[in-house]
Structure 1
Amino acid sequence: MIDIEISQAITHIWNNKFDQAELLLMPKVSTNPRYCLHYAESAFLRSFITASLDDTELALRRLKDTKDLAESYIKLLESNKCPPGYKDLKSKEEFKNHLLDCKVVLGDSLYMLAVLQITRDSKFKGCFNMRKSWKVFEEALKQVKDGLKYDDQLLECLHFGAGFFFFAMSIIPQKFLKIVEFVGFKADRELGLQYIRECSSFNSTGIRSPFATMVLLFNNLLLPRGLYNPAKQLREAEILLEENVQRYPEGSLFHVMMSHCHRKQCRIDKGLECMEQAIANCSNFQRPPAIYSYELANCYYLAKLEKKYAEMALDTLVKIAASRNVLTPVKLASSNGSGGQSQSSSFLSRTFSFGSSKKQQQQQQSTIDEVATPETINDRAAYLMLRGAILKGIDRVEESMVCFEEVIGLQAHLTEKFYYPYCLYEMSESHFHLKNHELSLDYLKRCNTVTGYDWEDPLKVRLRVTMDQIKKDGAGSDWGEEAEEVESTTDHHHHHQQQSPAIPNSTITQLDTLSIN
């Protein structure tokens, strides 16, 4: 069912050979929805590497073309007509397989459109297309229960699409999530990941294997970990990456992810090698992607930190604090953190503990304590947040809490409002690790009530992850029940929601047919 040209084109795409992939796909782009989809997917993935507005616009145009072609072919097939470009379809089974393929292509094109729209601040359009995408997958899931024989690769594509939908719904910003949830749909990250794992390179060599693997890597390396130790996620990511950098040696996306994986385990030299290879593999672009150049510079910076036990960072922090521009390292920490974690803790906990003995870590702490008290209240809050993050990173949790509590006490005087909710969350996590569950939930509730601050969406996603973990670990207990109450307010609605059913044994409540391109 899946042509050999498509498999070859996908291998080219993940090896950064976009032009070669498109040459294979172009002859059937106007007469075969699946060829049209992967032709659009080439521009879609390239746009994430180059961050080019032109590539993004091209991807949007191609995805809309794919959506239109798939919709027109679905109408023809449902009318028992053979669409242009298809060979004569003689059996019901052939019709049904091609119909399923077109539905999966339509669902895929809609969620890719949605991803681009959400990342470009067209969040309402993106959310509406997400809803329409789910309706398509829901219909496809019903179809495959009709007793006919369906192609295994098509079923894998269907499961990936449905799984991706569940996963995507679990990470979109809260204020837009209610658009797709108000009719009873409930995002379920674990269910989504279950189906994505079935399609990843752990279990498959199908055409959705690399895409599924990239979603798992995004989940394991870039999304907030909440209350969990990241060791398990890092190990899973490392196994996947070892396989895929060999499978796609001329690509760059897997090399970038490998760099992140090494850096999060304090193997900076290896992370540096991976970023250098990622950039070398972009030689066919007009210029190296700007984000790759930034990541490479960051690796060089961290490599020096490792060798000098963070002396450079401490010296920089002292100078920045003295110049009353402490917000800068907080932004730096945000850009280097784990995709939405606290604006400082992830980056700084790595930065200030590279290969250091406890004595050396204590010397680092002594150095930062010498920073003069900032002259403004916002600078003081930034300094305390950074200091608390460093203390937390070297397992001096109770001392870090003193810093976070002071920031919380400054709330009424702060003009930079994000310090307060982020420190509330840090206090909640600290109390959790100290097994003070009631206090942990209390801080989560207080954090959840704060709105209208910079970087609110990443913290809200982190709150949702934390709530899911508490409910899972505390199922049936007062701890788990209270967490559900907090999550209901985090989701900004209070009506009862149905638990997400398993795919494909059952389907979710019918969604509206609202569509925005």
Structure 2
Amino acid sequence: MYHALGYSSILVMQATMTFEQRDIQAAMATIKDALQTCQRFRKRNSVVGSLSSLISKQANLQEEEMHAELCYAECLLQKATLTFVQDENMISFIKGGIKIRTSHQIYKDCQNVLSITQGAAQQTELFRQFEGGVKLGIGSFNLMLSLLPQRVLRLLEFIGFSGNRRFGLSQLREGASNHSLRSILCAFTLLFYNTYVSLILGRNRPHPDFLQEFSLSQ
């Protein structure tokens, strides 16, 4: 799963930098293969399909299936990005929005699974990696959506999105400090927000000790 996700991530970055149709098509084909790979490892009664059933059977949920949900959600985000780049029309916009909505729902359900299993589960390396992935996804979604205008955010909340900036930042800080595979992505997201986004959009200025805290945590 992670090999497929990593390879597709490289091709997606290449496609978004070149905007060449050949690169976009190659990346899209690779993402489809990665989604099929993740789908084989997902629980048949998946997190998105029936969370209530998953909660009742959470003791039987394997760590491999947890990671399959995370990889599937990340692949959906990559496919949504390429959908916007490939063809700039309303149909592509709707298709990309649906993929983002599905990915967000997977992250929310994974967060519920994490809260249920966190106290009882042994803190294995695989579980720590799963926790880091959930915090990256939930934190990034909440932080980025909180930057939208309030009218737009209220509309998105009506269809299931959430944009709590304080909660998003706290999730990213926790993700950056747990030394998982995605901790560096949490740290870069925090760094980008505090040194660029918050200043460009006229938001609150970064804490004066942020860079020192960031450097010490890495």
Task: Return the TM-score normalized by structure 1.
Answer: 0.33
Counterparts of 1:231 and 1:178, CA distance in 2: 26
Match of 2:67 among 101, 118, 122: 101
Counterparts of 1:148 and 1:241, CA distance in 2: 31
Compute the displacement of 1:173 (Å). Answer: 8.0
Match of 1:142 in 2: 112
1:230 aligns with 2:205: yes
Q: Counterparts in 2 of 1:61-460, with a 5 A limit?
A: 61-76=29-44, 96-118=62-84, 121=88, 122-144=92-114, 145-146=116-117, 147-149=120-122, 151-171=127-147, 180-183=156-159, 185-200=161-176, 203-225=177-199, 226-228=201-203, 230=205, 232=207, 236-237=210-211, 240=214
Give 1:98's aligned amino acid. Answer: E
Compute the displacement of 1:114 (Å). Answer: 2.9
Tell whether the 8 Å contact from 2:104 to 2:161 is kept in structure 1 after alignment.
no
Give 1:223's aligned amino acid. Answer: V
Task: Return the TM-score normalized by structure 2.
Answer: 0.69
Counterparts of 1:124 and 1:51, CA distance in 2: 24
Match of 2:11 among 18, 43, 49: 43
Tell whether the 8 Å contact from 1:167 to 1:193 is kept in structure 2 after alignment.
yes
Compute the displacement of 1:133 (Å). Answer: 0.8
Compute the displacement of 1:40 (Å). Answer: 1.4
Compute the displacement of 1:97 (Å). Answer: 0.8
5+ residue gaps, structure 2, are: 47-57
Tell whether the 8 Å contact from 2:128 to 2:180 is kept in structure 1 after alignment.
no
1:133–1:44 Cα change, 3 Å: same
Give 1:232's aligned amino acid. Answer: H
Compute the displacement of 1:132 (Å). Answer: 0.5
Tell whether the 8 Å contact from 1:169 to 1:187 is kept in structure 2 after alignment.
yes
Counterparts of 1:199 and 1:242, CA distance in 2: 15
Match of 2:2 among 34, 49, 52: 34
Percent of paired sites with the same residue: 20
Compute the displacement of 1:115 (Å). Answer: 3.8
Counterparts of 1:102 and 1:141, CA distance in 2: 14
Counterparts of 2:154 and 2:81, CA distance in 1: 17
Counterparts of 1:216 and 1:118, CA distance in 2: 25
Match of 1:394 in 2: none
Match of 2:51 in 1: none
1:152–1:182 Cα change, 3 Å: same
Tell whether the 8 Å contact from 2:73 to 2:103 is kept in structure 1 after alignment.
yes
Compute the displacement of 1:112 (Å). Answer: 2.9
* Secondary structure of 1:232's aligned partner: coil
Count of paired positions: 195
Tell whether the 8 Å contact from 1:34 to 1:102 is kept in structure 2 after alignment.
no
1:228–1:184 Cα change, 3 Å: closer
1:149–1:204 Cα change, 3 Å: closer
1:93–1:38 Cα change, 3 Å: farther
Compute the displacement of 1:118 (Å). Answer: 4.6
1:75–1:96 Cα change, 3 Å: closer
Q: Deviations over 1:200-245 (max 9, x none)?
A: 2xx2432102211221122123324355563537x6357647987x
1:99–1:231 Cα change, 3 Å: closer
Give 2:144's aligned amino acid. Answer: A
Cα RMSD of the aligned pairs, angstroms, is: 3.6
1:231–1:164 Cα change, 3 Å: closer
Compute the displacement of 1:101 (Å). Answer: 0.9
Tell whether the 8 Å contact from 2:42 to 2:68 is kept in structure 1 after alignment.
yes
Counterparts of 2:33 and 2:74, CA distance in 1: 13
Q: Deviations over 1:399-434 (max 9, x none)?
A: xxxxxxxxxxxxxxxxxxxxxxxxxxxxxxxxxxxx
Counterparts of 1:56 and 1:218, CA distance in 2: 26
Give 1:221's aligned amino acid. Answer: T
1:75–1:228 Cα change, 3 Å: closer
| More helix per residue | 2
Counterparts of 1:61 and 1:132, CA distance in 2: 20
Counterparts of 1:40 and 1:175, CA distance in 2: 35
Counterparts of 2:27 and 2:211, CA distance in 1: 28
